[in-house]
Structure 1
């Protein structure tokens, strides 16, 4: 049995994984978890305090599972490898070693987004939901599915969302991903404009999708994640390929 722990990204709770639920193979046991501050959990630790975040997640992030982190969830999971017992493997979906990259989201763009968030948090969050679905085959449909899953208001409080933006601005997992304590696999959407073209060269590429394949291509994504998880458990290398 393959045990997967799914971790969502900024401003998005675990409901984002629901479209995959009918499509997992029978030998996959899947657990979707919430970060602190989401879905009525206590507020997240401040952005600089990874040790506190690790303690908050210690009982949730089992070393006996494979962690699948999407977007900020993947970046946090990678950084927590320095603070928690490592999982069987880590799969990073739409996640580079740091959020701001040449050819992807710039520091200037993120800074402007942070300022907009301080002025109008909920409106900025709603804009982000639409923005991150732009690379999907049918962006309007993907945005409607995402909105239907998440509702009209964020499930995290303002302090948690602010801390998450701080993580996006400051976290850098480059060093730990150069010598990770467990197998690490990277998956990117071929049209994911939140990730640089250079970064997309270093992983398995899902052609024709963007940053949110769980709402645009759930069957394909479930199959891909299950395949990568099984390969990681067998300690076999997964070639960088197009899917």
Structure 2
């Protein structure tokens, strides 16, 4: 049985994956753990270092699974490759080597967002929910679905969210993914406003007619693409032991 571990992004807990539930075939075990400080783990302090995060997530990220990280979740999963036993494979959704780029969200734009978050964290979080949906085929219905899943208040504390913004500014996967210890695949929506054009060109798969949140607007297509990638990964010689 193939095991998938789904990891959510900034400001959003594991409930974001619920729309995919009806589309998983038999033979695939799916888990969606929360990051420390989010959702079911909201009472936990968010780790401030990758080593601490690895310790907190060790039992949620087994090496016999395929890790699927979306947005910040993908960046964190990639960074944890240096701190945990390598998984069978890593799939990144809506994530490049780093969050900021000159052809996507620039460092100046992220700095402006962080200043706004310091002044008005709740309003800024709500703005982000709408902002990340810009490239979706129906952003208003996607926003309603997102609010139906998440509610109108984040499950994480503002301190946890601020730490996540630090990760977005700092994490760079150029080195760990330059010679990864497992197969790595990247998929990005062709209309993802948060990913830069370079990240889209370097992606293994572009999700047609999708932006940054395909799980909200095309969960069926996203589940199918993930299963296709699993089949592709499984066919690699020595998959799960070394990068192709």
1:212 partnered with 2:228: no
In 1, are the aligned partners of 2:72 and 2:95 still within 8 Å (CA)? Answer: yes
In 2, are the aligned partners of 1:43 and 1:157 still within 8 Å (CA)? Answer: no
1:54 maps to which residue?
54
Q: Distance in 2 between matches of 1:38 and 1:61?
A: 16
Residue 191 of structure 2 aligns to a residue whose secondary structure is coil
Question: Which contiguous aligned blocks of 4+ residues in structure 1 show a shift greater than 2 angstroms?
Answer: none
Alignment of 1:84-163 (within 5 A): 84-163=84-163
1:239 maps to which residue?
none
2:46 maps to which residue?
44
Q: Distance in 2 between matches of 1:232 and 1:102?
A: 31
TM-score (norm 2): 0.94
Q: Report the RMSD for the aligned CA atoms in angstroms.
A: 0.9
1:222 maps to which residue?
223
Q: Distance in 1 between matches of 2:228 and 2:60?
A: 23
Deviations, residues 39-93 of structure 1 (Å, cap 9, x unaligned) = 14202112xx111111111111010100000000000000000000010000000
Q: Distance in 2 between matches of 1:225 and 1:40?
A: 25
1:168 maps to which residue?
168
Q: Distance in 2 between matches of 1:43 and 1:231?
A: 38
Cα offset for 1:134? 0.7
Cα offset for 1:234? 2.2
Cα offset for 1:102? 1.5
Residue 198 of structure 1 aligns to a residue whose secondary structure is helix
Q: Distance in 1 between matches of 2:219 and 2:184?
A: 22
In 1, are the aligned partners of 2:34 and 2:40 still within 8 Å (CA)? Answer: no
1:235 partnered with 2:236: yes
TM-score (norm 1): 0.95
In 2, are the aligned partners of 1:187 and 1:205 still within 8 Å (CA)? Answer: yes
Gaps of 5+ in 1: 237-243
Cα offset for 1:233? 2.1
In 2, are the aligned partners of 1:89 and 1:233 still within 8 Å (CA)? Answer: no
